[in-house]
Structure 1
Amino acid sequence: MKPVYYRLENSWTPKGGPNGQFTFTLLNLSESPLSGFKLVYTSLTRVSDPEACENAQFLRRNANFHEFSPPPGFLLAPGQSWIFTVAGLHRKAQHCTDGAKSAYLTLVDGTHVEVAVSDLLLEGSLSEPPPALLPEGHLDLPFALQPWPAEIDAKPGDSFPVVLYPQGARSDELLSISTVISLSRRLFESDHSVFSLAPSPQGRALVFDRQASLDAESYRLTFASDKVTLSYRDAAGLQYGLTSLAQLLNGARTTKGRFRFPISGSISDKPRYGWRGCHLDVSRQFYPVADVKRLIDILAWFKLNIFHWHLTDDEAWRLEIRAYPQLTTTGVLRGPNEPLLPQLGNGAEPVGGFYSQGDIRDIVAHAQALNVEVVPEIDIPGHNAATLAALPELTDGQEAPDSYHSVQGYPNNALNPAVPLTYEFLEKVFDEMVELFPSSYIHVGGDEVANGSWLASPLAKELMAEEGISGTFGLQSYFLKRIKDMLTARGRKLAGWNEVAHGGGVAAKDTLLMAWENPQVGIDLAREGYDVVMTPGQAYYLDMVQAEAFQEPGASWAGTVPPAHTYAYEAEGEFPEDLKDKMKGVQACIWSEHFLSRGYFNRLVFPRLPAIAEAAWTPKAKKDWNRFAAIVPLSPAL
């Protein structure tokens, strides 16, 4: 481990400006004096007034990237510190992750040196222990099932079999057992396997009964002292039945006494919704293939069936497109001397990472074996700073380079609907995507295009005059209608965020929209005829803070989202009865701005992901917070 020669302390106080101010302290722990340097830090709490700083000169900002220099002639001697304040912030800092995430120095010779960053402190606040997110919990039935089944009438036994083994199984049933053996071994590496493909005198027979009369994805388990019978209709139902058996036996083994295995009775089970999803943003932070596959394993364990893979955003384009190799060279590298500046925790060392087409095929095959559908997303037309850095020919060269800014602070980050090359580019991207992803949907984003985008573009003005288009969202609707036609021609349906409906939207037929801004949006979209997946930030965004304390990590724009709220939230909400058929399901969203470590990931994602899995599967009348709290500590993590 390299020694730390420079450290940045940062604190926030509500005084000093409308949104408070930061106080930064740079300490020189080296043996050499510093002069003529610049300091960069990345922070989601951005500077909106460059003049509102003291004892420092503001140099530039790009989204979360901030660069300052000390006063002229300043010398930072060994063991000394430079203190400066920054007010003029675009919002208040509410939590510990709202401060500097990373920092580095640019020395007078142009080299870049990493700076360690300490936690953000709130002046005058005590550091409190994290709150208890779960009660102790209570079990009426001592069975370790996640999510809880639709119907259960089973009696717990006083003992449990060493293993379950198939009796008279067909080859596809044996393969499914093998798949669940591998799944459980990956998730619980030190635990003994719950299944054996060979008979065991200490085991219990597992008998299969395929029934065409059962619903899709459903299963039924019937327990007896000498055997368990698994009835199912399709491959998904078979897997879910086996997964439930694995959970039951694993829980009885690892928490003996608290959880038990059934000796008689039955479980009849089927999902509440057809779309049971989890989204992962890999643009802001890159996740290795092994981590993506493990997350898919966790989804399968919780009977979630959609992996929504957010592959592109302002921060990076992660999907290899062979027609445009620069997307995964220029379009993924963030660093002090790279086309993309450091963001969201990057420092002096360049960072990259992308998924090759071989990686994509590997991950898609892994998911398919677990009955998880991979729905890819390329976010268009907004959130394309990385795309435009890699392919500057997609811009209108006559448009001022700083004519609008996204909500995240990126200048001119949206693909221009009036540039003909935009459509040629996307045709080639979709050609490669449909070869990689068998999903019936391709998600095209459509969110957070800044009002005012393209209005300074001469080409856009010309297009608006020719087509009778009004404003940014009229242009966006024109663009997305062309995108929908591209997907239809390739046998795919369009999915997007709720803003796809802006400016006239696209045809509702074969369009699925995700309501994220607030629950009412989903009802409004259903009234317009769209199929809807509910994923409101106020309940299902897993980057939101879980408690109000300043020391809690996460975002707060959608409020505080403790696990109890996520669990209790009912996505159907006030949906009128005649619109409920338009609600196709629910989805968790994992946005990665704050996920700088595996510890932060697991702290924020669990237990809320299992809570959403239960909302997606378990009937409302069967949900029970105390029972959930008793079982969820058995959950696997990343």
Structure 2
Amino acid sequence: MQPVCYRLESAWQPDGGPFGRFTFTLVNLSDSPLRDFRLVYTSLTRIIDGAACENAVFLRRNANFHEFAPPKGFILGAGESWTFTVSGLHRQAKHCTDGAKSAYLTLSDERHVPVAVSDLLLEGATSEPPPQRLPQGKIDLPYALQPWPAKIDVVPGDGFPVVLYPESGSSKDEISAADTVLALFHRLFPGGHAPFTLASSPQGRPIVFAEKPELGPEAYALAFSEREIRLEYGAAAGRQYGLTTLAQLLDGARREGGKFRFPVSGTISDQPRYGWRGCHLDVSRQFYPTADVMRLIDILAWFKLNIFHWHLTDDEAWRLEIKAYPTLTTLGVLRGPDEPMLPQLGNGAEPVGGFYSQDEVRAIVAHAGALSIEVVPEIDIPGHSTAALVALPELADGQEAPESYHSVQGYPNNALNPAIPLTYEFLEKVFDEMVELFPSQYIHVGGDEVANGSWLASPLARKLMEQEGISGTFALQSYFLKKVKQMLTARGRKLVGWNEVAHGGGVGTEGTLLMAWENPKVGIELAREGYDVVMTPGQAYYLDMAQAEAFQEPGASWAGTATPAHTYAYEAEGEFPEELKHRMKGVQACIWSEHFLSRGYFNRLVFPRLPAIAEAAWTPKAQKDWLRFAAIAPLSPIL
């Protein structure tokens, strides 16, 4: 690998502007002087006043993309540095990930060369190291279970069986279920000792299966004795969860025998607290290869989560192959200095792309289905559609003034226009292909963060609003989403969306599920309006939020600090009036990827909060115990 010849150092000072200021220093580590160059960096802390910089010329910004030039005639000699400051920021920096995520230089001959980027430093205040995320932990019952079961009354044994195996005479489906969980264990813990064998073993213990539909489809019951283990299950999902519990018990006893044990007698009776136990993954901001998506699904299965919400499109990329519109995954995924979309969120001099072919989607959906996980796809509309509009410029109103509105992330004119007939033809064809790929009864259509003022500079939109008696952006959004709901209903699907779907009059509540993300009270308001609700408030369940206030802790901060303890303790239905609790269908973790530039950042931010949410989704409130969870969480698999 060629060494990078330039490095960008950065620091943030609390003074020097309404939201502080950045000081950037570009160091020339090459053997040649630099002249007539431009510097680009990407940062979520955006510049809104280009004039508020010293010793540099601000050239342009697009969302997180920022471009500067040095003063005219400036030459950066070999071994020398160029320092400039920027104070016209849209918010203050609160964490080390709020600075530059990537950088590159555009040279005088228009070549682009990479620039290494250092961590953002804090100046003018004390930069404390982040605290430990988990306490030491304490267990009263010595069992390694995640999530903790609804009822457990078992006696720990002094030892444990080497393996467990299906009793002779077990059905093919029961043997296959054991094989599925065995394969899951091998994928998650390739160095671990297998908990199951499909052949009987004198050092093992048989599992006696019994189907009991009256338990409910996701419920199971285990009865332990020295001779056998009896597993009763309501349906295939309950059988899988019971086998997963056995695998966890045996693995914990084997890995940390001084702390965890395997039951010798007693019973476990278990079923989930909520029907919707979800985890969302944003693959638009950062692309995750198919193998990574499948491993995340494996982790969800280990924690008995049953919904994988796949956020496939956003401003930054459209990741789902649609054969009717091939440019969505050619033009609509490429980010780079000379590509259809500019670098964002950690991209540099090299172009980046990535999408999921329909064959890959089918493989992922089948993989999830084999683990009792439903894949709910999301295309985010009408906002967050920059990538789609780049791929299909005919979807825009050519008469609309450029940059007539900006999204909260800084993207100009990024919403599909409800007044363009082609918009609906486009969506009809997209939905036709999606329903063939995804058997889920749900399709998520986003509906979030449409900027107030969107479309108001579009002559086509203004004409439609006049014809239909529509006033304002959100009433027009409601008009659009009602048509989208009709499309989904015609295809036998239910509409899922973020809580803003209810804005401007919303859509029909029948067959609609909304996700409350902005704050917990929004969920109650939606339930009062008659919507079914999944709770996923950023203040507790967004796994990109920083886990401590310390500057050195990575992550976002708009929803505050979500420590693992807070995420674990949060009770989504806590403020729901009794008469509305039936509207709350479950809870969901959300993995937004703006800050996930590395596997290390992903694992640091997602764990242990993902298993904490899994326990909130499964375990009754009275059975939750933070110190017990803290003792078991280190056994979790990671990506």
| TM-score calculated relative to the size of structure 2 | 0.99
* 1:210 matched residue in structure 2: 211
Corresponding residue of 1:118: 118
1:133 and 2:133 correspond: yes
CA displacement, residues 218-239 of structure 1 (integer Å, 9 cap, x when unaligned): 0000000010000001000000
Match of 1:108 in 2: 108
- Tell me the distance in 1 between the aligned counterparts of 2:125 and 2:508: 52
Residue 124 of structure 1 and its aligned partner are, at CA, apart by 3.8
Match of 1:406 in 2: 407
SS of structure 2 residue aligned to 1:579: helix
Name the CA distance, whole Å, in 1 between partners of 2:128 and 2:186.
37
Q: Which residue of the partner structure matches residue 562 of structure 2?
A: 561
Deviations 1:246-284 (A, max 9, x none): 000000001012100000000000000000000000000
In structure 1, what is the Cα distance between the partners aligned to 2:574 and 2:156? Answer: 35
Structure 2 residue matching 1:313: 3-state secondary structure: coil
Q: Deviations over 1:131-182 (max 9, x none)?
A: 1111111111100000000000000000100000111210000010000000
CA contact (8 A) 2:335 2:352 kept: yes
* Counterpart residue number, 1:438: 439
The AA in structure 2 aligned to 1:7 is R
Cα distance in 2 between the residues matched to 1:116 and 1:125: 25
- Secondary structure in 2 matching 1:316: coil
Instruction: Indicate yes or no: 2:631 matched with 1:636.
Output: no
Moved more, 116-125 or 241-250: 116-125
Is 2:163–2:197's contact at 8 Å kept on the other side of the alignment? yes
AA aligned to 2:80 is Q
Q: Distance in 2 between matches of 1:126 and 1:551?
A: 11
Query: Which residue pairs with 2:328 in the alignment?
Result: 327
Correspondence for 2:9:
9
Q: Retained in 1: the 8 A contact 2:129–2:551?
A: no
Give the AA of the match of 2:136.
E
Q: Which residue number corresponds to residue 76 of structure 1?
A: 76
Matched to 1:86, the amino acid is V
- CA deviations 1:487-536 (Å, max 9, x no partner) are 00000000000000000000000000000000000000000000000000
1:263-322 superposed Cα distances (whole Å, 9 cap, x missing partner): 000000000000000000000000000000000000000000000000000000000000
Q: Distance in 2 between matches of 1:631 and 1:108?
A: 57
1:503 alignment counterpart = 504
Instruction: Name the structure 1 match of 2:625.
Output: 624
- Cα distance in 2 for partners of 1:500, 1:108 equals 48
- C-alpha distance in structure 2 between counterparts of 1:194 and 1:128, whole Å: 43
Aligned residues: 638
Distance 2:82 2:159 in 1: 67
Deviation at 1:128, TM superposition (A): 3.9
Q: 2: CA distance between counterparts of 1:216 and 1:235? A: 7
Deviations 1:160-215 (A, max 9, x none): 00000111210000010000000000000001100010000000111001112212
Alignment-derived partner of residue 230 in structure 1: 231
Match of 1:86 in 2: 86
Indicate if the aligned counterparts of 2:129 and 2:550 stay in contact, CA closer than 8 A.
no
Higher deviation after alignment, 120-129 or 86-95:
120-129
Q: Give, as a single letter, the amino acid of the residue that structure 2 aligns with 1:205.
A: P
Q: Secondary structure at the match of 2:61?
A: strand
Any residues of structure 2 matched to 1:584-623 within 5 Å, and which? 584-623=585-624
What is the deviation of 1:216?
Answer: 2.2
Q: Distance in 2 between matches of 1:128 and 1:449?
A: 37
* TM-superposition CA deviations, 1:440-480 (whole Å, max 9, x none): 00000000000000000000000001000010001000000
The residue type equivalent to 1:218 in the other structure is A
Aligned equivalents of 1:184, 1:124: Cα separation in 2: 49
Give the structure 2 partner of residue 375 of structure 1: 376
Q: Percent identity?
A: 78
1:379: how far off? Answer: 0.0
Deviation at 1:4, TM superposition (A): 1.8
Q: Distance in 1 between matches of 2:253 and 2:631?
A: 13
For 1:245, the equivalent position in structure 2 comes to 246
Q: Which runs of no fewer than 5 residues in structure 1 stay unpaired?
A: none
The offset of 1:2, in angstroms, is 1.4
CA distance in 1, matches of 2:529, 2:471: 21
The amino acid that maps onto 2:396 is T
Q: How many Å separate the matches in 2 of 1:481 and 1:553?
A: 39
For residues 489 and 367 of structure 1, what CA distance do their matches in structure 2 show? 26
CA deviation after TM superposition for structure 1 residue 421, in Å: 0.4
Structure 2 CA distance, aligned partners of 1:65 and 1:347? 10
Q: 2:281: which partner in 1?
A: 280
Matches of 1:6 and 1:348 in 2, distance apart?
Answer: 13
| 2:129–2:553 contact (8 Å) kept in structure 1 | no
TM-superposed CA distance for 1:99, in Å, is 0.2
The one-letter code matched in structure 1 to 2:45 is: T
Mapping of 1:274-353 within 5 angstroms? 274-353=275-354
- 1:401 Cα deviation from its structure 2 partner: 1.3
Give the SS at the match of 1:522.
helix
Letter of the structure 2 residue corresponding to residue 450 of structure 1: A
Equivalents in 2 of 1:632, 1:555: separation in Å?
Answer: 23
Map of 1:471 onto structure 2: 472
How does the TM-score come out when normalised to structure 1? 1.00
Q: Deviations over 1:56-89 (max 9, x none)?
A: 0000000000000001000000000111000110
* Aligned-pair Cα RMSD in Å: 0.6
List gaps (5 residues or longer) in structure 2. none
Residue identity opposite 2:255 in structure 1:
T
Partners of 1:129 and 1:16 in 2: CA distance: 24
What code does the residue aligned with 2:532 have? D
